[in-house]
Structures are given as structure tokens and as C-alpha cells.
A = this chain, B = another copy of it.
């Protein structure tokens, strides 16, 4: 494990000269530089990032907080973050928080002390006071997928609009009894998707029927049970709007298990557009979120902040989500 001193000795110069030859910020004699480089190669010298970080006050590392990497929306986001990070010489630390604010706080506390230069949170909740505090302290923070008002920079889709459009599409294709399988309504994101659903119905003069509003909570609950229960009670929607693709998959399974067909009896629309969604039976009509792109943008934004491009006001960036139409919705005549 060669240090800068070893290189210096071999090149017959001082450590400072080695440092300068390597950084290139200060002129170094051409011939000296070559001797240094040759020594660097010979000893396979790589600077110790800890020492460098200690001196410079930064580590070129970012922390990425996700609820659970096993939730299929997050790998794509993580990938976007990592690709951009690497491009800029940054490294990514991955943290799963399981929606546990205390666990997240611990993690943040630990990483924040000179470990990481900034955070990307895909975990923001209304109660996430610590994110505000971080931001206020001047620590670089960007949110992705979920946002917190206008106070913190974020990269998200317009959940209200996407949901509105999806439900409007169902209405336009002749559906009247539209069920929604919603996620954890303590999350703004699902509140917004629910608002979109409600307003699309209202705009068309359709009533909101409580028996068609299904909430599922835990992370492993894809709605199979809730849909089955509804159907068994004899409540029959003509369409299901699932607020995630796994929930759409669960709904389809439940509908079929009750002897009904998709989309023959019940149409289904999902949300996410996972890799496999086009290959389901039927191929899923779903709202496509540009997850990779969102991760990439969030990372770019964060790195700009870290590099001191203080962008004054925080900005919530909206990226386009769009409904991709496949075969899980049937046009109904009345």
C-alpha cells in the first residue's frame, strides 16, 4: 500500500511536489512530473481517499435513502443515481429505511458527519422533519419520487395529473364503476393520486363510491386480498385503477380467481410500467414513470449543489409521466 511519501522518495522529490504533479493545479517541471508519474505507475499508487477527504472536507460520496430496494420502483431510480454519480466521480451509499423515520434519522446522523457530501431521499414523508433540518443547515439534499411541498428540491412526476388522466381514460372508454387500489395514504403521493381519481370522476359527473375505494397498507400487500374480498361481497367494478403495477398484478389475479376476465369483465390500469408489465396477461395499460431519468436528474441536481452551484430557491422539478396503452382496458359501449 504505497503512500505519497513512497512515491516522493522514489521520484526523489517531496510529497508536496507529488501532490502538485498529480493535481495539476500548480505548475511542475515537465521532467519532474514525468519522474513522479513513473514512480506512481511503478508503485501502483492510489491516493488514500480518507486522508484526502479529511483534508478537503469532502468525500465525493452521496447517500441514497430508499424505503426498500425490493420495491420494484427503486432499483431503476438507484441505477439512475449511480450512473450519474459515477460519471461525476461520486460513489453511492445505499440505505433501506423501511419507512422507519427513526432508523432513517440514525442513518443520516451517522453518514452526515463527513461521510457523505449530500443526500438523495426517496423516502420523504410529511413527518420527515429531519430532512427540513438538514436542508436548513445548508446540507445538500434532493428528494426524488416523493416531495415535501416547495421547500426542498425534488424530482417527481405530477401524480395528481397522471392519476387524473388515467382515470379519465377509463371513463372515456366507457367505464362507470371504477375501483381504486390506493397505497399508504399518509404519503402525499398517494393522496395526490387519490385526488386525481376523485376529480376525474367528479369532472365526469360520476359519484365516488366508498365501496370501490380500497386502501392497502403494508409493503407486501398487493391488493389481492382486498380485491377478492370486494368481489366476494358481490361488489363488481367495471374497472380497477391500481396505484402501482404490483397492485395491478394482484388485482388481475384476484379478478381471474373469481372467474372473471380482464379486460372482458373488468379493465385494469396500473402505475409504474415495470419491465415485465408489457408481458403480463393481458399486457398492462399503465402510467409510465421515467424512474431512471428521475434518479439521474436528482443526482445531477445534488452534485451541482455539492459543487456549490447554489441555486437560490429550491425547485421542484416535474418530469413527464405518460399513460401507455396496452391491452388491459376494454372499450365499453352503453
List chain A positions with a Cβ less than 8 A from chain B: 1, 46-51, 53-54, 59, 64, 68-70, 72, 74-76, 78-79, 82-83, 91-96, 109-115, 220, 222, 224, 246, 249-250, 252-253, 256, 275-276, 279-281, 283
Q: Which residues of B contact A279 (CB under 8 A)?
A: 222, 224, 249-250, 252-253
Please determine whether A93 and B93 come into contact, CB atoms closer than 8 angstroms.
Answer: yes
Q: Which residues of B contact A220 (CB under 8 A)?
A: 275
Q: How many copies does the complex hold?
A: 2
A243 to chain B, nearest CB (A): 16
Please determine whether A46 and B109 come into contact, CB atoms closer than 8 angstroms.
Answer: yes
Q: A51's closest neighbor in chain B, by CB?
A: B54
- Using A54-B48, A281-B281 as known contacts, say yes or no to A79 and B83 having CB atoms under 8 A apart: no
Residue A249 contacts which of B94, B110, B276 (CB distance < 8 angstroms)? B276
Q: Which residues of B contact A70 (CB under 8 A)?
A: 75-76, 79, 275
Cα separation A75 to B252 with both chains bound (whole Å)? 25
8 examples of A-B residue contacts, CB within 8 angstroms:
A48-B113, A50-B54, A51-B54, A51-B114, A69-B79, A70-B79, A91-B111, A280-B281
Residue A113 contacts which of B47, B91, B256 (CB distance < 8 angstroms)? B47
Beyond the given pairs A69-B79, A246-B276, 18 more chain A to chain B contacts, judged by CB atoms under 8 angstroms and listed by A's residue number, are A46-B110, A48-B114, A49-B113, A51-B54, A51-B114, A68-B79, A69-B75, A74-B75, A79-B96, A83-B96, A91-B115, A93-B93, A246-B275, A250-B279, A252-B279, A253-B281, A256-B281, A280-B280
A219 to chain B, nearest CB (A): 10
Q: A82's closest neighbor in chain B, by CB?
A: B96
Q: Which residues of B contact A224 (CB under 8 A)?
A: 279
Pairs A-B, 8 closest by C-beta atoms: A46-B113, A253-B279, A94-B94, A50-B54, A69-B75, A281-B281, A70-B75, A50-B53
Q: Which of A1, A74, A279 has the most CB of B within 10 A?
A: A279
- Using A93-B93, A249-B280, A276-B249 as known contacts, say yes or no to A1 and B50 having CB atoms under 8 A apart: no
Please determine whether A49 and B82 come into contact, CB atoms closer than 8 angstroms.
Answer: no
Q: Which residues of B contact A49 (CB under 8 A)?
A: 110, 113-115
Please determine whether A69 and B72 come into contact, CB atoms closer than 8 angstroms.
Answer: no
Please determine whether A94 and B113 come into contact, CB atoms closer than 8 angstroms.
Answer: no
